[in-house]
Structure 1
Amino acid sequence: MSERTLRLGTRRSALATTQSTWVADRLRGLGHDVELVEITTEGDRDRTTPLASLGGTGVFVSALREALRVGRVDLAVHSLKDLPTTPEDDLVVAAIPSREDPRDALVARDGLTLGELPAGSTVGTGSPRRRAQLEALGLGLEVRDLRGNVDTRLGKVTGGDLDAVVLARAGLARLGRTDVITEVIDPLQMLPAPGQGALAVEVLASGDPTVRDAVAALDDADTRACVTAERAVLAELEAGCSAPIGALAEIVLGEDGDELSLRAVVAATDGSADLRRSLTGDPADAEALGRSLARLLLEDGAADLAPDLGTPAGAPATTVAGAPARQPSGAGIPAPTEPAAQTVPPNAPERDQ
Structure 2
Amino acid sequence: MTAPAKLRIGTRRSALATTQSGHVADAITELTGVETVLVEITTDGDRSQAAGTPLTGAPSTGVFVSALRDALLSGEVDVAVHSLKDLPTYAADGITLAAVPPREDPRDVIVARDGLTLGELPVGSRLGTGSPRRVAQVEALGLGLEISGVRGNVDTRIGKVRSGEYDAVVLARAGLARLGRLEEATEVLDPLQVLPAPGQGALAVECRSDDAATIAVLARLDDAGTHAAVTAERVVMARLEGGCAAPIGALAELAEGEDGPEIWLRAVVLSTDGALSVRRSASAELGADPAGWPAAAAALGEALAAEMLDDGAGDLVGPPAPDDPTTETPVHPSARSAEVHNA
Give TM-score, length-normalised by structure 2.
0.89
Distance 1:183 1:318, change over 3 A: farther
Aligned pairs, number: 318
Q: What's the C-alpha RMSD, in Å, of the aligned pairs?
A: 1.7
In the alignment, does 2:305 pair up with 1:304? Answer: no
Distance 1:57 1:248, change over 3 A: farther
For 2:192, what is the secondary structure of its paired residue? coil
> How is 1:252-291 mapped onto 2 (pairs within 5 angstroms)?
252-283=255-286, 284=293, 285-291=296-302
Q: 1:320, CA displacement in angstroms?
A: 5.2
The equivalent residue for 1:316 is: 336
Q: 1:319, CA displacement in angstroms?
A: 5.4
Partner Cα distance (1:95, 1:315) in 2: 21
Find 1:89's aligned residue among 68, 75, 93. 93
Q: 1:296, CA displacement in angstroms?
A: 0.7
> How is 1:104-123 mapped onto 2 (pairs within 5 angstroms)?
104-123=108-127
Partner Cα distance (1:55, 1:137) in 2: 33
Partner Cα distance (1:321, 1:216) in 2: 17
In the alignment, does 2:47 pair up with 1:36? Answer: no
Distance 1:96 1:270, change over 3 A: same
Partner Cα distance (1:149, 1:175) in 2: 12
Partner Cα distance (1:101, 1:318) in 2: 27
* One-letter code aligned to 1:226: A
In the alignment, does 2:252 pair up with 1:232? Answer: no
Q: 1:240, CA displacement in angstroms?
A: 2.5
Q: 1:322, CA displacement in angstroms?
A: 3.9
Contact 2:260 2:285 in 1 (8 A): no
The equivalent residue for 2:327 is: none
Partner Cα distance (2:60, 2:199) in 1: 15
In the alignment, does 2:180 pair up with 1:173? Answer: no
- Between 1 and 2, higher relative CO (CA 8 Å, sep ≥ 6) is seen in 2
Contact 2:231 2:341 in 1 (8 A): no
* One-letter code aligned to 1:88: A
Q: 1:51, CA displacement in angstroms?
A: 2.9
Contact 2:302 2:337 in 1 (8 A): no
The equivalent residue for 1:4 is: 5
The equivalent residue for 1:197 is: 201
Contact 2:85 2:244 in 1 (8 A): yes
Q: 1:321, CA displacement in angstroms?
A: 7.5
Q: 1:274, CA displacement in angstroms?
A: 1.5
Distance 1:319 1:82, change over 3 A: farther
Instruction: Structure 2: state its 5+ residue gaps.
Output: 287-292, 321-333
Partner Cα distance (2:231, 2:99) in 1: 12
Distance 1:194 1:45, change over 3 A: same
Tell me the alpha carbon deviations over residues 5-47 of structure 1, each in whole angstroms, 9 at most, x when there is no partner.
2000000000000000000001111201101000000110111
Give TM-score, length-normalised by structure 1.
0.87
The equivalent residue for 1:78 is: 82
For 1:46, what is the secondary structure of its paired residue? helix
In the alignment, does 2:147 pair up with 1:139? Answer: no
Tell me the alpha carbon deviations over residues 75-108 of structure 1, each in whole angstroms, 9 at most, x when there is no partner.
1000000000011131111000000000000000
Q: 1:56, CA displacement in angstroms?
A: 7.9
* Deviates further, 45-54 or 32-41: 45-54
The equivalent residue for 1:334 is: none
Partner Cα distance (2:9, 2:206) in 1: 10
* One-letter code aligned to 2:307: L
Distance 1:59 1:266, change over 3 A: same
Partner Cα distance (1:319, 1:227) in 2: 14
Q: Percent identity?
A: 62
Q: 1:257, CA displacement in angstroms?
A: 1.7
Partner Cα distance (2:150, 2:124) in 1: 17
Q: 1:282, CA displacement in angstroms?
A: 2.4
Q: 1:316, CA displacement in angstroms?
A: 1.6
Contact 1:50 1:145 in 2 (8 A): no
The equivalent residue for 1:22 is: 23
For 1:58, what is the secondary structure of its paired residue? coil
For 1:59, what is the secondary structure of its paired residue? coil
Q: 1:291, CA displacement in angstroms?
A: 1.1
Q: 1:306, CA displacement in angstroms?
A: 2.4
Partner Cα distance (1:241, 1:86) in 2: 14
Contact 2:254 2:263 in 1 (8 A): yes
Partner Cα distance (1:118, 1:91) in 2: 48
Partner Cα distance (2:126, 2:33) in 1: 49
In the alignment, does 2:170 pair up with 1:150? Answer: no
Contact 2:235 2:340 in 1 (8 A): no
* One-letter code aligned to 2:115: G
Find 1:206's aligned residue among 210, 230, 248. 210
The equivalent residue for 1:349 is: none
Partner Cα distance (2:175, 2:87) in 1: 16
Find 1:244's aligned residue among 247, 252, 256. 247
